[in-house]
């Protein structure tokens, strides 16, 4: 049973790698987000999942082209998590500081943080896990002065994957929290 499952897993892994994995292979997260738009995500999420293009453009309309706007364009807005974990990685603090700075500069600014999980595990538990990840990101922002009412948190669990594969490559991209304006 075990060996057959392992073989299945390997087969699935290779199959998926051949289908989609190559698309991700060697690409940076910012690039990979492009692909997300093609996934069965939610239409409303599409613009914010491409922060480099649409997201950045949207923000440009919000405030007059300050350096904050530029920095927010460059900062990553998707933060990845380890399997079954909801701890914000220390290397993400730098980017989150940029977001916090942007939000504290104008308390009227709102941010929407959406948590996600990979497909492994039950859907309801993953929904809660996604929320916990989003909250972890929010807490980092709040620790840097962002007001509670500025941030709203939600979770899609495993329902809106960024990558469609059934391998670690895809899963690592799906365990995420997105900071959306």
Partner 1 sequence: MKALDSKGGGQIGRVFYVAPAFFAFLFCVHLGCVQAEITIEITQGSDSAVPIAILPFGQEAPIAPFSSVIQQDLQRSGRFQAVQSHKFPEKAVRSSELTLSAWQNLGVESIVVGRIQPLSSSQYQVIFELVDVYKGQQKMLPSQNGTPDNPSLFIQNNSVLLAQEFIIHASESRKLAHQISDIIYERLTGERGIALTRIAYVSVVVESKQGSEYRLEVADLDGFNPRVIMRSKKPLMSPDWSKDGSKIAYVSFENGRSEIFIQNVSTGRREKIAPYMGLNTAPAWSPDGNKLALSLSKDGNSEIYVLHLETKRLERLTNDGAIDTEPAWAPDGKALIFTSDRGGEGKPQIYQFSFETRATKRLTFEGDYNARGRFTSDGRHIIMVNRQNGQFHIAVQEVETGTVFWLTDGVFDESPTVAPNGRLVLYATKEGGKGLLQAVSVDGRVRLRLPAREGEIREPAWSPFPIGLRGKGLSL
Residue 15 interacting with partner 1 (CB under 8 A): yes
Among 96, 153, 163, 177, binds partner 1 (CB under 8 A): 153
Q: What is the 8-class DSSP label of residue 88?
A: P
- Cβ(158)–Cβ(126) below 8 Å: yes
Q: What is the 8-class DSSP label of residue 92?
A: G
Q: Cβ 118 to partner 1, closest distance in Å?
A: 11
Helix (H, G, I), strand (E, B) or coil at 113: strand
- Binding mask 93-122 toward partner 1 (x if CB under 8 A, else -) reads --------------------------xxxx
Q: Which is nearer to partner 1, 68 or 128 (CB)?
A: 128
- Cβ(39)–Cβ(164) below 8 Å: yes
Beta pairing, strands 176-180 & 78-80: antiparallel
Residue 154 interacting with partner 1 (CB under 8 A): yes
Residue 80 interacting with partner 1 (CB under 8 A): no
Residue 12 interacting with partner 1 (CB under 8 A): yes
Residue 43 interacting with partner 1 (CB under 8 A): yes
Helix (H, G, I), strand (E, B) or coil at 154: strand
């Amino acid at each position: 049973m075990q060996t057959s499952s392992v073989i299945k897993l390997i087969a699935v892994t290779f199959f998926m790698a051949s289908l989609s994995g190559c698309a991700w292979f060697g690409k940076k997260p910012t690039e990979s987000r492009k692909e997300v738009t093609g996934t069965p995500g939610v239409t409303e999420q599409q613009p914010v999942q491409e922060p480099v293009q649409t997201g950045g453009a949207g923000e440009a309309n919000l405030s007059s082209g300050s350096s904050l706007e530029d920095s927010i364009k460059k900062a990553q807005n998707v933060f990845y998590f380890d399997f079954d974990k909801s701890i914000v990685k220390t290397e993400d603090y730098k980017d989150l500081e940029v977001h916090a700075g942007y939000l504290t500069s104008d308390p009227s600014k709102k941010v929407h943080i959406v948590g996600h999980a990979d497909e492994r595990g039950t859907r309801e538990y993953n929904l809660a896990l996604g929320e916990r990840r989003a909250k972890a990101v929010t807490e980092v922002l709040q620790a840097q002065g962002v007001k509670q009412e500025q941030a709203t948190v939600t979770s899609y669990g495993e329902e809106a994957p960024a990558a469609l594969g059934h391998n670690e490559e895809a899963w690592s991209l799906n365990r995420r929290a997105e900071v959306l304006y």
